[in-house]
Structure 1
Amino acid sequence: MGNNYTMVAKTLFGFEELLEEELRNLGAINVQKGVRSVTFEGDKGFMYKANLCLRTAIKILKPVKSFRVRNEQDLYDQIYKMDWERFMSVHSTFAIDATLATDRFHHSQFISLKTKDAIVDKFRNLHGTRPDVDLKYPDIRIHIHIQQSEVTVSIDSSGRSLHQRGYKTATNIAPINEVLAAGLIMMSGWDGQCDFMDPMCGSGTIPVEAAMIACNIPPNINRKEFAFEKWPDFDANLFEKIIESSLKKTREFHHKIYGYDKAPSAVAKAKDNVKNANLSEYITITQRNFFETYKPVDGKLHMVFNPPYGERLSIDMEQFYKSIGDTLKKHYPGTDAWFITSNMEALKHVGLRPSRKIKLFNGHLESRLVKYEMYEGSKKGKYIE
């Protein structure tokens, strides 16, 4: 197809394969995995669909120009030469993000400034006036990536990070990023074929993402806006069609999703967020202390959670992680329990042997996603006495 172009989807470290698979399933072509990113090809409609439907993408960038530079003057000249009126007008506001993987330039801030100067000068020389910078809500966000001497200029089609789904009005003290939550749930193999629980649900992110996966609801359906809606070539009818066809692919979910938290404030926020996501019929949020609970269902239970890790919440780590192990062992037979932690020391106190350990990052913290299989009946689980 003549209208296809290359795009780059950014993601979190460790989620590259998940994103690659998501893109293939969505219909992208020439999908290639990188570090914290996956490149692919598609047309304008596919760009809209990628922003709407990808669970593990943080941004979708559209590269528009690449060139080599020796110094700052080269950068300025090449940026100045570009036809910026394809992307914006003198009345547009804009912002620039720069990432550097080079020893030629040392300050991303300075690169952003040089790029801004070139664009502003170009418009001023053409029209006698210039577009303004707006760091918070720009009409167009420009991304500069420098790898040694190779510069790639991209236009950011997403705007604010895609983890900002639009259903969260309230968060608790240590909220989990929505993209991280979705990725953990996908890595755990959750397919909506049994009941699901988050026993420490905070503001409800994991239960909401789990319900959206189970029902195949586009993750960004509640989002207020995407950057591409401000582009000169935005096709509102096409975007409307993409939304409609994505919503037609949703499916029914015949099990229950439980969220527990012992803090009343977290429970209130989680209920709000579940309601905002229009998922109240699937998700039950209850104020409970996980360590005083029993498995609420017969049969299989799939559990994914993000326990406090002491970085922002102070708890007695040893005792806390021992209680997780004890509760799973005594009260949760027939459960696959997955959780993420950045506290490798505390993991030793769970007293169970994990059947899987996956290295990830939670923000800047190196973490592990661990799986514990709690067997029914005689096969009592692999315990370390």
Structure 2
Amino acid sequence: MDKDFKMVATTISGLEGVLADELRKLGAREVKEAIRSVHFRGDKGFLYKANIALRTAIRILKPIKRSKIFDEEDLYEAIQRVKWERLLDVDGTFAIDAVVYSRNFTSNSHYIALKSKDAIADYFVHKYKKRPNVDLKYPDVKIHIHIHKEWLTISLDSSGDSLHKRGYRSATNIAPINEVLAAGLILLSGYKGEENFIDPMCGSGTILIEAAMIANNIPANINRKHFAFENWKDYDEDLYFVIQDSLLKKIRNAHFKIMGFDKAPSAVKKAKQNIINANLEEFIGVHHVNFFNSKKEVFGKTTILFNPPYGERLNINIEEFYKNIGDTLKHGYSNSTAWLITSDFNALKFVGLRTSKRLPIKNGDLDCRFVKYELYEGSKKTKKFSES
């Protein structure tokens, strides 16, 4: 039986708690939140499961060495102390990325990655008179260097490409939302597939697809073609397929409607193609509709979640646009809960509705708020009276 070991799942700022909940539900041990990451323990099978199933992880790292360092010489020596031949063949390929948060290192992350690459190459040359090659696109082993203050952590990147690259999105619109962020927003909203779901400005359909995968308990990365751990020397293909099959057996069929609107025919076409790529066309309907001319036509409780234009995405009249959002929600979508994300905090005052939650979150480099509006039948006062 494989022994447990430490792992780190990285994520977007604001989604640490969501990711920690995901890990606990999957069966991780010793789950601990950090900044843009969650630390946990599990065995080899759990490393495979985390990559396949986690919705809000960007990558899964397996730390192999932690050292106290103060300068580049310490960095070089610490890397040289790793027995790299156990992880990488001399005829193999590798790539390194680095993240540095330390006053002791004035060099940028790219330079630290180059110095680390030199240390690994020199290790092999000294031992075998030969060195593995660097391959930035398809390396056999991807290595992550993390320096925080005086601490160096060397990790193997088990994911390879970022886990937001699910494998279903072939067509995109202007500034498409990151898949990890989309899934995180849906989970933050509390949506579990037990009510209707609408994205009224759906673009290329990412939020809809992530919602349908959550509703049906479909593993987030089931459409991925490759994970970096498949190149590792200890990769167990039989175990991988056992883990994959166990996750596939937990898929369920959701019975509530999932719908997207967009006023642009090109967006509707792209969304439909991506939905087909994800094999979810029987669960999602996409319609050529201008949200501002729409009203709720589904019976029962509904979650509305969308990513309207903000920042520099589109040249629009912000005041008029956000006022129209509020008016449409107020008059057309009672008995619903609406969520939207924006970096334009000033624009929210034009919505004309009171928020019941404002959650801070990052979208790339933008500081955003994910806000909630509760839309009742009649007034809130009437609802409270009727329930008393």
TM-score (norm 1): 0.97
2:29 alignment partner in structure 1: 29
Equivalent residue number for residue 265 of structure 1: 266
Amino acid at match of 1:8: V
1:369 — aligned with what? 370
Stretches (4+) displaced over 4 A? none
Equivalence map 1:294-313=2 (5 Å): 294-313=295-314
Whether the 8 Å contact between 2:311 and 2:343 is mirrored in structure 1 is no
CA distance in 1, matches of 2:371, 2:382: 15
Indicate the residue corresponding to 1:212 in structure 2: 213
Where does residue 285 of structure 1 map in the other structure? 286
**SS of alignment partner, residue 218 of structure 1:** coil
Question: Over residues 304-349 of structure 1, what are the superposed CA-to-partner deviations in whole Å (9 max), with x where a residue is unaligned?
Answer: 1000114121111110000000101111111101000100111110
Secondary structure class of the residue paired with 2:323: helix
**Structure 1 CA distance, aligned partners of 2:355 and 2:276?**
34
Q: What residue number does 1:20 align with?
A: 20
CA distance in 1, matches of 2:335, 2:81: 64
Letter paired with 1:328: L
2:45 corresponds to 1:39: no
What CA distance in whole angstroms lies between the structure 2 residues aligned with 1:381 and 1:48? 51
Q: CA 1:4–1:317 in 2, change beyond 3 Å: closer, same or farther?
A: same
> 2:111 and 2:210 mapped to 1: Cα distance?
38
Structure 2 equivalent of residue 197 of structure 1: 198
CA separation of 1:381 and 1:111: change in aligned 2, threshold 3 A: farther
Shift of 1:119: 0.7
CA distance in 1 between counterparts of 2:230 and 2:22 reads 23
Contact 1:329 / 1:381 at 8 angstroms: preserved in 2?
A: no
- Please report how far the alpha carbon of residue 110 of structure 1 lies from its aligned counterpart in structure 2 after TM superposition: 2.1
What residue number does 2:104 align with? 104
Distance 1:267 1:380, change over 3 A: farther
Equivalent positions of 1:82-101 (< 5 A) are 82-101=82-101
1:132-177 alpha-carbon deviations (Å, 9 max, x no partner): 1122222211111112221110000000110111111111111000
| Aligned partners of 2:2 and 2:44 also within 8 Å | no
Paired letter, 1:202: G
Worse-superposed segment, 251-260 or 100-109? 100-109
The question of whether the paired residues in 1 share the 8 Å contact of 2:14 and 2:36 is answered with yes
Residues 1:54 and 2:18 aligned together: no
* Gapped regions of structure 2 (runs ≥ 5): 384-388
The 3-state SS of whatever aligns with 1:89 is coil
Question: Corresponding residue for 1:342?
Answer: 343
* Structure 1, gaps ≥5 residues long: none
The separation in 2 between residues aligned to 1:60 and 1:139, in whole angstroms, is 16
Q: Distance in 2 between matches of 1:280 and 1:192?
A: 16
Report the AA paired with residue 363 of structure 2: N
User: 1:237 and 1:315 mapped to 2: Cα distance?
Assistant: 53
Residue 381 of structure 1 deviates from its aligned partner by: 9.5
Partner in structure 2 of residue 237 of structure 1: 238
Q: Please give the alpha-carbon distance, in whole angstroms, between the structure 2 residues aligned to 1:140 and 1:263.
A: 43
Counterpart of 2:26, as a letter, is L
Query: Per the alignment, in what secondary structure is the counterpart of residue 152 of structure 2?
Result: strand
Please tell me whether the aligned partners of residues 310 and 317 of structure 1 are also in contact (alpha carbons under 8 angstroms): no
Deviation at 1:205, TM superposition (A): 0.4
Structure 1 residue 263: Cα displacement: 1.1
Q: Superposition RMSD on alpha carbons, in Å?
A: 1.4
Partner AA of 1:362 in structure 2 = N
Letter in 1 for 2:138: Y
Separation in structure 1 between the aligned mates of residue 146 and residue 368 of structure 2, nearest angstrom: 27
Distance in 1 (alpha carbons) for counterparts of 2:240 and 2:382: 50
Q: Whole-Å Cα distance in 2 between the matches of residues 359 and 86 of structure 1?
A: 43
Q: Distance in 2 between matches of 1:166 and 1:275?
A: 12
Q: Distance in 1 between matches of 2:62 and 2:324?
A: 48
Code of the residue aligned with 1:59 in structure 2: it is: R
Tell me which residue corresponds to 1:66.
66
TM-score in terms of structure 2 length? 0.96
Matching of residues 132-151 of structure 1 within 5 Å: 132-151=133-152
Q: Number of aligned pairs? A: 382
Alpha-carbon distance in 2 for matches of 1:310, 1:46: 39
How far apart in 2 are the matches of 1:315 and 1:204?
21
Report percent identity of matched pairs: 59
Residue deviations 1:227-253 (CA, integer Å, cap 9, x gap): 001111111110001110001011110
Q: Partners of 2:131 and 2:161 in 1: how far apart?
A: 24
1:83 partner letter: K
2:386 aligns to what? none
Q: Is 2:143 the counterpart of 1:174?
A: no
- Match of 1:348, SS state, is helix
| Matched position secondary structure for 2:371 | strand
Counterpart Cα distance in 2 of 1:78 and 1:381: 67
After alignment, is 91-100 or 366-375 more displaced? 91-100
| Equivalent position amino acid for 2:249 in 1 | K
Shift of 1:41: 0.4
For residue 91 of structure 1, report the CA deviation from its aligned partner.
2.1
Matched, 1:225 2:226: yes
Cα distance in 2 for partners of 1:212, 1:218 equals: 7
Question: What letter is aligned with 1:77?
Answer: E
Which amino acid is 1:154 matched to? Answer: S
Q: Distance in 2 between matches of 1:298 and 1:254?
A: 13
